[in-house]
Amino acid sequence: MKFKSIKGTKDILPDESYRWQFVEQTIRSVMHAFNYREIRTPVFEETALFARGIGELTDIVGKEMYTFLDRSGSSLTLKPEMTAAVMRSFIQNNLGEQQPLVKVYYIAPMFRQERPQAGRLRQFHQFGAEAIGASHPYIDAEIIVLSAEIYKALGIKNFEIKINSVGCEQCRPSYKDKLTKHLQSVYDKLSEESRKRFGQNPLRILDSKDENDRALTNDAPLMKDHLCEECSSHFSQLRSILTSLNIEYQIDGRIVRGLDYYTKTAYEIVSNDLGSQDALTGGGRYDLLVKELDGKQTPSVGFAAGIERALMAMEKQNLFSGEQFSPKIFIAAADSAGKDWAITQAMTFRQSGISCEIDFLERSLKSQMREADRQKAEFVIIIGENELRNGHVSVKNMKTGNQTIVMIKDLVNHFQYQEGKDEPGKKD
RNA sequence: GUGUCCAUAGUUCAGUUUGGUUAGAACGCCAGGUUGUGGCCCUGGAGGUCGUGGGUUCAAGUCCCACUGGACACCCCA
């Protein structure tokens, strides 16, 4: 085997693509119900966009980006996340000047050069939404509910919504001091990893999975208890809106989003069906990002969710059975006269919107029947010289095994009628 | 970037511990089972440089080393 897909990338093969189609269709329909419109941006951007937007010190920018120089020497990067790209587009195209609140969604591939593991790939796919232009917690709530509704629509059961507030430029610095002081007292006992974080981003120590670290930080001060008045009121309003919407959530003061741009609301949706990478969704508010990217300060909220992780949860919960695409009709030809007829008739069916397959491998009638069965064709038309002479064909219903005679000239009508008769009320 | 485990037909795996005749199974695939008909069943068939490259040995799928790839965990996150 000479060529292989790149480490951490995967093919989506014909046997599984219907699952992706189902997930994507469901996402679109819920997004549309909430009146979000799709935005598509290029797969790559100027490297500096991500460096500035996501934060120079984040892991994503520091060590995970697929960055390369193009032939003119420009540094480009395959997008590791979507928010910075959406904001760039928002600013570049003056979307905020056309309407005060812009609500967009996306479904797109992302790229991060990390070590692959369960639920983590180098090319992965996210869906997400951004609501740009509103600061009221109503819109934070809408974003949270929107993401949760998508999981419900997909049939995913066991997920939890965890919310927190990470404060703002006003309250975060003084909280950080308090936290740092507290952590200094236990610094010697912290894990090596956490000690490394102490210098860079002490907030993340709260997020540590190390049991000892968690115990040591049990009584550490949490951001949510040290919010300024504005942030505190925003957070409590959000909670009561969610409650009034009957959304179950937990407050988790240890949620710290890894990207620099978050302010106020931060939330995660997690599932215990995923293994170690248990986050289905991460999101929150980022009121400073547009300005950071040289736009006019614009409050924004959004979320990003992993499609592969949603699929994992669905598989774990057995939400898929053997669905596959199958043709309505397979034409099995007994002889060469039949084959000549088959290719013409197949085109007629197809042009009438009836899916149809024929044999291309010069196989025996028996083999053609086996093929029709394997493909789960609903009906098989059997055709040969006899039928051509008499102007009718045998039509076999592969589910019941019943076989009937249909005049050749009536065939298209016959199956169009079948379509309506078999699936009353069903349309699409 | 670190760690643990793994790598044999299209797929899932035996065989590796105690190196030794033509490397097996199941499923899948192909063809047949009398005259033009699927699924079940029966018969036959095709298909493997045993991840790659070195080494030890009279002899390596089996032992040793390196590399590549995979799985999972750390880290981080979707």
User: What residue segments make up the domains of chain A, in order of their start?
Assistant: 14-171+227-316, 329-417
The amino acid occupying position A154 is L
Architecture of domain A14-171+227-316: 2-Layer Sandwich (3.30)
Same fold, A14-171+227-316 and A329-417: no
Of A91, A122, A93, the C-alpha closest to A109 is A122
User: Model confidence over A388-423: pLDDT tens digits?
Assistant: 999 999 999 999 999 999 999 999 999 987 655 544
The CA-atom distances, in angstroms, between A167 and each of A56, A129, A306 are 20, 22, 26
For strand B, the positions having any atom within 7 A of a protein Cβ are 1-3, 29-33, 36-39, 49, 68-78
Give the distance, in angstroms, between residue A376 CA and nucleotide B78 C1': 36
Which pLDDT score is estimated for A258?
65
Which pLDDT score is estimated for A211?
76
The CA-atom distances, in angstroms, between A109 and each of A44, A80, A85, A89, A216 are 11, 9, 13, 17, 39
Rg (CA), chain A: 28
Measure CA to C1' and name the residue nearest B70: A7
User: Using the CB atom, is residue A374 less than 7 Å from strand B?
Assistant: yes
| CA–CA separation, A327 and A292 (whole Å) | 53
User: Model confidence over A94-152: pLDDT tens digits?
Assistant: 999 999 999 999 999 999 999 999 999 999 999 999 999 999 999 999 999 999 999 99
The strand B neighbours among A residues 376-405, by Cβ under 7 Å, are 380, 382-387, 394, 396, 398-399, 401, 403
The strand B neighbours among A residues 16-55, by Cβ under 7 Å, are none
User: Using the CB atom, is residue A119 less than 7 Å from strand B?
Assistant: yes
Which pLDDT score is estimated for A187?
83
Q: Give the helix, strand, coil percentages of chain A, each rounded to 5.
A: 45, 20, 35
Regions of chain A where pLDDT drops below 50: 1, 422-428
Which pLDDT score is estimated for A70?
93
Give the distance, in angstroms, between residue A232 CA and nucleotide B12 C1': 56
Give the distance, in angstroms, between residue A358 CA and nucleotide B47 C1': 27
Check: CB of residue A150 under 8 Å from CB of residue A30: yes
Check: CB of residue A377 under 8 Å from CB of residue A326: yes
On average, the pLDDT of chain A sits at: 91
Which pLDDT score is estimated for A275?
84
Measure CA to C1' and name the residue nearest B75: A193
The strand B neighbours among A residues 153-182, by Cβ under 7 Å, are none
The CA-atom distances, in angstroms, between A243 and each of A134, A187, A191 are 21, 39, 38
Architecture of domain A329-417: 3-Layer(aba) Sandwich (3.40)
Give the β-pairing of A102-111 and A392-397. unpaired
Note the residue count of chain A.
Answer: 428
Which pLDDT score is estimated for A200?
74
Which pLDDT score is estimated for A423?
43
Give the distance, in angstroms, between residue A112 CA and nucleotide B14 C1': 39
Question: Is the reported ipTM for this assembly greater than 0.90?
Answer: no
| CA–CA separation, A49 and A76 (whole Å) | 9
Does the CA dihedral A314-A6-A68-A89 come out positive or negative?
A: negative
Q: Which two tokens stand for residue A418?
A: 């079948």
Which pLDDT score is estimated for A186?
83
Q: Which residue's entry shows tokens 């590791």?
A: A80
The strand B neighbours among A residues 51-90, by Cβ under 7 Å, are 58-60, 64, 81
| Number of alpha helices (DSSP H) and beta strands (DSSP E) in chain A | 16, 16
Of A71, A78, A57, A55, the C-alpha closest to A9 is A78
